[in-house]
């Protein structure tokens, strides 16, 4: 199943990279404020879905652009984001990825995040570990918040979160070595997994943004929770991920701004 996900991600990556050579010709639609979809998103998603259903025709699909297919009819569900970071892609900013996860009875078991512009392939299987281009990866060992770099994402599609979020951002900035906002949650999670950043938090994400990356973090030795330290992040879309020593400090920094 992981091999099928890898093949599907690489096929979608080929579609995306060919399109990246002619960005001016891409058709763009606006789904809502600061949320875009292109014909490339749809073509990449179709390439992924076709390959998965060819191998596993009875499996369910939850994909960002085409929605749910067969959900509830199978114990297996593929959770797909064909381009996480569409806005970056449209601007030629090379921070976007394909995210594919496979859940069995609601628990993610396999994960692939593929960065086609760098040819970086992140993979994880539950209980087996996390890998970048077939090399084992681990979260960072930093434990002093003032030495840590934390990744985040701005609440650009729902402005109702902005004041709460800015309070969190101000406090995290004051306690760390810096905050990075790259614009693709799947890659932010993978950067936690391989130690490029020490933690990550974001609000109001969708399952396809975080399903694969969260397993990659966990299999790399990190912890994933919601903003209160519980395990409701797939339902709420509010997520915190970090190495074990940083997680509690990051949660404590965020906590004063909850319910504001």
Residues 43 and 125 in one domain: yes
105 and 85 within one domain: yes
129 and 170 fall within a common domain: no
Which CATH number characterizes residue 116's domain? 3.30.540.10
Q: Which of 113, 136, 159 is the last residue of a domain?
A: 136
Closest CA to 47 of 9, 1, 2: 9
Same-domain status, 203 and 252: yes
**Residue 98 sits in the same domain as residue 162:** no
Angle between helix 207-219 and helix 185-193 axes, rounded to 10 deg: 0
Contacts of 240 (CB under 8 A, 6+ apart): 199, 200, 201, 224, 225, 226, 227, 229, 233, 247, 250, 251, 254
Are residues 109 and 153 located together in one domain of the fold? no
Residues in the annotated binding site: 64, 81, 83-84, 209
pLDDT value, residue 258: 92
Under 8 Å between Cβ of 146 and 242: no
pLDDT of residue 64: 87
> Mind listing the pLDDT tens digit for each residue in 181-199?
999 999 999 999 999 999 9
**CATH number of domain containing 209:** 3.40.190.80
Same structural domain for residues 189 and 126? Answer: no
Q: Are residues 2 and 49 in the same domain?
A: yes
173 and 235 part of one domain: yes
| Mean local confidence (pLDDT), 78-100 | 95
pLDDT higher for 76 or 26?
A: 76
The answer on 108 and 2 residing in a single domain is: yes
CB atoms within 10 A of CB 105: 8
Residue of 127 and 19 predicted with greater confidence: 127
Domain end: 108, 136, 164, which one?
Answer: 136
- Numbered residues of the known binding site for Mg(2+): 64, 81, 83-84, 209
Let me know whether 108 and 215 are in one domain.
Answer: no
Q: Strand 149-152 to strand 199-202: parallel, antiparallel, or no bridges (unpaired)?
A: parallel
Q: Could you report the per-residue pLDDT of 193-228, keeping only the tens digit for each?
A: 999 999 999 999 999 999 999 999 999 999 999 999
The pLDDT assigned to 21 comes to: 87
Number of domains, the chain: 2
Residue 24 binned pLDDT confidence (cut-offs 50, 70, 90): confident
Q: What is the dihedral of CA 5, 216, 180, 79, to 10 degrees?
A: 40
Q: What is the pLDDT of residues 127-158, one digit of tens each?
A: 999 999 999 999 999 999 999 999 999 987 77
Query: 32: pLDDT confidence band, cut at 50, 70 and 90?
Result: low
Domain interval for residue 203: 145-257
């Amino acid at each position: 199943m992981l091999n099928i996900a890898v093949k599907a991600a690489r096929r979608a990556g080929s579609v995306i990279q060919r399109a990246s050579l002619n960005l001016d010709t891409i058709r763009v639609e606006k789904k809502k404020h600061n949320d875009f979809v292109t014909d490339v998103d749809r073509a990449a998603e179709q390439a992924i879905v076709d390959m998965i259903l060819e191998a596993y025709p009875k499996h369910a699909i939850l994909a960002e652009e085409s929605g749910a297919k067969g959900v509830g009819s199978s114990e297996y569900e593929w959770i797909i984001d064909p381009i996480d970071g569409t806005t970056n892609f449209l601007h030629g900013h090379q921070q976007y990825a394909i995210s594919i996860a496979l859940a069995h009875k609601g628990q993610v078991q396999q994960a692939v995040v593929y960065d086609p512009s760098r040819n970086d392939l992140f993979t994880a299987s539950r209980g087996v570990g996390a890998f970048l281009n077939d090399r084992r990866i681990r979260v960072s060992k930093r434990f002093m918040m003032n030495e840590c770099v934390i990744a985040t994402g701005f609440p650009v599609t729902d402005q109702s979160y902005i004041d709460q979020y800015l309070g969190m951002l101000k406090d995290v900035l004051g306690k760390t070595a810096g905050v990075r906002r790259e614009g693709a949650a799947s890659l932010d999670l993978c950067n936690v997994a391989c130690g490029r950043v020490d933690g990550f938090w974001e609000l109001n994400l969708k399952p396809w943004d975080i399903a694969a990356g969260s397993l990659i973090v966990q299999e790399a030795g990190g912890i994933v929770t919601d903003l209160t330290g519980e395990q409701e992040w797939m339902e709420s879309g509010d997520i915190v991920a970090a190495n074990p020593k940083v997680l509690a400090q990051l949660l404590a920094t965020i906590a004063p701004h909850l319910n504001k």
